[in-house]
Amino acid sequence: MPRDAQGLAVTMASEEAAAAWDHLVSGYLGYRADAPQRLKALLAADAEAPMAHVMRGAFAMLAFNRSFVPPAREAAEAAARLAARATPRERAHAEAIAAWAGGSSEAALAAWRGILADHPRDVVAFRLHHFLAFWMGRPEEMAASAEAVRPAWNPEVPAHSAMLGCFAFAAEESGDQQAAERDGRAAIAADPSDLWAAHAVAHVLEMTGREEEGIAWTSALEPHWEGGSQLVHHLWWHRALYHLQRGETEMVLALYDQRFRNLASPLVQSHADLYIDMQNAASMLWRLRRLGIGAGPRWEELADKAMARSGDILSAFTLPHWMMALTASGRWEAGCRWLEAARQAAAGEGAHATLVREVALPVCEAILDHARGEPARAVALMRPVLGRMHRLGGSHAQQEVLWEVFLDAAVDAEDRDAAQLALAWSRRRFSAPPARRIGWAAASAWVGSA
C-alpha cells in the first residue's frame, strides 16, 4: 500500500495517486488557491480513493455555507462507502466528515482527536481539528492538540513548518505571544510562503502593539503570497489594522479596495460572500465608521451579500458582521427580516443552534437596536453574553470589533460600568492600554474622568 509524505499508509490505486494526494495536502496546508484543482487531479488518478472524498467533503464544509452542506454529505457518504476497504484511520476520517456535515462539530473534533492519538503525523486530521476548534472558539483545544502531537514532529518530517505555523497560532490565541513568535518565525525561516505562519506572527505583532514591525513583516513576505487562497485577503486585513492603529485611514481604504475587497479580483469573484472575506470587509468598515469615516457604496455591496445569505447560520461569528452591513447601509426593515430568518434557523436543538440563539443573535439584535437609537437596550442584550462571545469563533483581533460594539453602546447609554467591562477586556488582551489604542482612547478618557 502506498504511503503519504509523512509515512502513513493511504488507500490509493497507484503511486501516482499517492503523489497527487501529497500535492493536494500540501496545497490545503499552504492555503493554495488551486487546492480544488489538486483535488480534481487526485480524483482523476483514483476516483475511488476514500481520502479524496474526505477532502471533497472537508472543502465543502470549510466554506461554512449552508448550500454546500448537501454536497458535503454526499461526499461523506462516498467516503464512508469506499473506506469500508480502507485503513481504520481513513474510516475515522470518513466518520469525522460525516459528523461535521451532519451538524455535529463536536463529534468531528472527537474523531480527529482519536486519529491523532494513534497517528500524530496525520496532518489533515490535525489541521481540520485546529481550524474547526478555532471557529468554535476553543483556543485551549487548539493548544492541547498542538502539545499532544508536537513530540512526533521534527524538521525532517515533510510539512514540519506548516505544523509550526499551527503551533504558533494556537499559542497566540492561548495568550503565549512569545512561543507564538518563536514558532511562527521558525516556520517562515523554513518556508517564507507559509501563509498561516505569516498570519500567526502578524497576530503577535498586533496584540503586542508593534505596528511598524507588522508593516515590515507583511511587506517582506508579500512577494511570497502569489497563488494563495483567500487567506491572503485576511493577511492584507491584518496589514490594514496596523495602518488603522497609526491613523492612516486613507491607506486602510486603499487596502480595502485594492487588496482585500477588490471586486475585480478573480479570487474575490470566485466566492464573493466567503465568510472570512465578509468578516474582513465588514469589520474594517465598521472600525472606520467608528472614527467617522464613511465607506459609501462599499456597505451596500456587503449588505446585498448579507441578504442573500439570510437564514444561513453556519458561521456564527459572521452573523454580527452581516448585521453591521445591514445597519450601516440603513436597511432597518431588511435587518429585522434577516434577524427573524436567523432566529428561525437557530430554533432547533444542538450546540451550534444554541450558541447562535443565545450568543450570536443577541449581539446582532444589539447592533440593530443601537443603530435605531436604543443603546441601553443594546447594552442589556450583550452584557449577559460577553463571557461567551469568544465561543462564536474568531481571533482576539477579530473579536475586538464585537467589544467595540458593546463599548459604543455603553458610551451612548452613558453606562460607565458597562464601558469598564470592555476596557478591561482590551487591557487583558492587548499590550498597549486602551488610552493608546485607536477607537478606545476616547472611551477610556470618558470612563477615567468619572
CB of 86 to Fe ion, least distance (A): 35
CB of 346 to Fe ion, least distance (A): 26
Nearer to Fe ion, 106 or 222 (CB): 222
CB of 138 to Fe ion, least distance (A): 16
Nearer to Fe ion, 218 or 395 (CB): 395
Q: Show the binding pattern over residues 375-404: x = contacts Fe ion (CB under 5 A), - = does not.
A: --------------------x---------
> Residue 428 burial (CB < 10 Å; 0-12/13-18/19+)?
exposed
Indicate the residue whose CB is closest to Fe ion. Answer: 395
Site for Fe ion in 294-313 (CB under 5 A): none
Q: What are phi and psi of 228, to 5 degrees?
A: -80, 165
Nearer to Fe ion, 5 or 276 (CB): 276
Among the listed residues 183, 276, 187, the one whose alpha carbon sits nearest the alpha carbon of residue 229: 276
CB of 104 to Fe ion, least distance (A): 26
Site for Fe ion in 105-124 (CB under 5 A): none
Nearer to Fe ion, 159 or 276 (CB): 276
Task: Judge whether 19 and 3 are in contact, CB under 8 Å.
Answer: no
CB of 281 to Fe ion, least distance (A): 14
Number of residues located near Fe ion, criterion CB under 5 A: 1
Nearer to Fe ion, 103 or 228 (CB): 228
CB of 280 to Fe ion, least distance (A): 9
Nearer to Fe ion, 283 or 395 (CB): 395
Nearer to Fe ion, 240 or 423 (CB): 240
Q: How many degrees, rounded to 5, is the angle at CA 361 between CA 355 and CA 367?
A: 140
CB of 397 to Fe ion, least distance (A): 6
CB of 97 to Fe ion, least distance (A): 25
CB of 231 to Fe ion, least distance (A): 9
Nearer to Fe ion, 8 or 276 (CB): 276
Q: In angstroms, rounded to a whole number, what is the distance separating the alpha carbons of residues 215 and 210?
A: 9
Give the three cell numbers for residue 382.
Answer: 450583550
Nearer to Fe ion, 161 or 395 (CB): 395
Query: Which residues form the interface with Fe ion (CB under 5 A)?
Result: 395
